[in-house]
Amino acid sequence: MRLSHKVEKLPPYLFVEISRKIAEKKAKGEDVVSFGIGDPDIPTPAHIIERLCKEARIPANQRYPESEGLPALRQAIAAWYEKRFGVKLDPDKEVAPLIGSKEGIAHIAFCLLDPGDTALVPDPGYPVYAFGTNLAGGRPYFLNLTEKNGYLPEFNRIPENILEKTKVMWLNYPNNPTGAVADLDFFNKAVEFAKKYNICICHDGPYSEVAFDGYKPVSFLQAEGAKDVGIEFHSLSKSFNMTGWRIGMAVGNAEAIDALKRMKSNLDSGIPQAIQYAAIEALNGPQDAIKEHNDIYQRRRDLVVETLNKMGLQAQLPKASLYVWAKVPEGFTSAEFAADLLDKVGVVVTPGSGYGRNGEGYVRLSLTIQDAILIKGLSRMADWHDSKNIMRYKR
Ligand SMILES: Cc1ncc(COP(=O)(O)O)c(C=O)c1O
């Protein structure tokens, strides 16, 4: 088989590789605790599932869906954005439902980039921004996100010769993998910068509802003039524990949304209609489950951060997101540390290097595992730490 050069160079997705290693261990009868993928363990709220089941039985919902989404779904998305962020959206022109935001993130690159164009991509960052850019023939220019700059890109450090070729800038707050957040002032500055250099901002905000200690993340679209220069990707995956149903949205600039809808109408046939109704139920229905879930994640976050800090792993308390970002112990790369943990105590953490060069020296722990398993995993990590100290002492 002669594959395309693009696909030949494409590595397997980060979590495919991690899942393979977990399956290998499990096949040997070993018990593995995974702090890997950010996939909520808490079920989708009951009223959403009930609606899904009811709608699945209706014959009209068993046929091809409208690829641009039911008008009622687009209206529900617009109403939710207004209620949650005070952002007004035209459901016909400024809303594109997606089969999970991941596909939209990859497909938008084909709408905005020609071969040779540059996209500014956060490092560390969600890997799909760079993969999409590369597949569309574009070139990622990585924006350094570091502890020192609060994991916020410094626009004034991007060279002019790069900016001349730049058409897209990816941003993502609350941030995966670092848990960092951005305020409205940052987004206002980003819009100003995008206007100056004629860049389209693609903000990815699937964690806006997962926040702690009373903190409420803002939407990029709340920034003055944001709709003139960009769009926001969002998802029901993390807000309503619906990762498995695959439904998300892109909202904002009408021209970019129209391009994405046109692209998708040629590629896919939309979201199964019963799932669209489930999303309508989630968006229009009671939002109490969000606070209940956040209380659970917050408790887990506190436990994880406390344990890691006791082990000397230097973890910050994230204000939002499903992740704790922690420094690896001295003498290990992030991949070596992750491999040693898996090998010695059957615990999976994600090596920061999988998210880019600046992720080296860190690991990401997801808070999406049940309390009892999480406690078991932390206790194994503490054992790992003690055994290393004993080994050092013996030497
Ligand atoms: C930053 C970020 N964007 C997008 C996604 C994709 O979410 P989905 O495709 O489930 O909507 C994820 C999933 O983990 C993510 O972390």
Q: pTM to 2 decimals?
A: 0.95
For 120-173, the pLDDT digits (tens) are 999 999 999 999 999 999 999 999 999 999 999 999 999 999 999 999 999 999
Q: How far is the CA of 204 from the centre of ligand 1 (A)?
A: 8
Is 100 touching ligand 1 by the criterion CB < 6 Å?
Answer: yes
User: 10 Å Cβ neighbour count for 167?
Assistant: 17
Determine which residue's CA is closest to atom 5 belonging to ligand 1.
Answer: 102
The structure tokens listed for 79 are 């109403």
- Terminal Cα-to-Cα distance of the chain (whole angstroms): 53
Matching residue, tokens 């209380």: 295
For 275-332, the pLDDT digits (tens) are 999 999 999 999 999 999 999 999 999 999 999 999 888 999 999 999 999 999 999 9
Q: Which residues of 336-359 are buried (b: 16+ CB within 10 A; e: fewer)?
A: ebbebbbeebbbbbbbbbbbbebb
For 192-226, the pLDDT digits (tens) are 999 999 999 999 999 999 999 999 999 999 999 99
Interhelix angle 101-112/128-135, rounded to 10 degrees, is 40
Right CATH number for 46-284 from 3.40.50.1100, 3.40.640.10, 2.40.50.100, 3.40.50.12280?
3.40.640.10
Is 38 touching ligand 1 by the criterion CB < 6 Å?
Answer: yes
Annotated domain spans of the chain: 5-43+288-394, 46-284
Right CATH number for 5-43+288-394 from 3.90.1150.10, 3.40.50.10330, 3.30.465.10, 3.90.199.10?
3.90.1150.10
Report the SS3 class of residue 88. coil
Is 44 touching ligand 1 by the criterion CB < 6 Å?
Answer: no
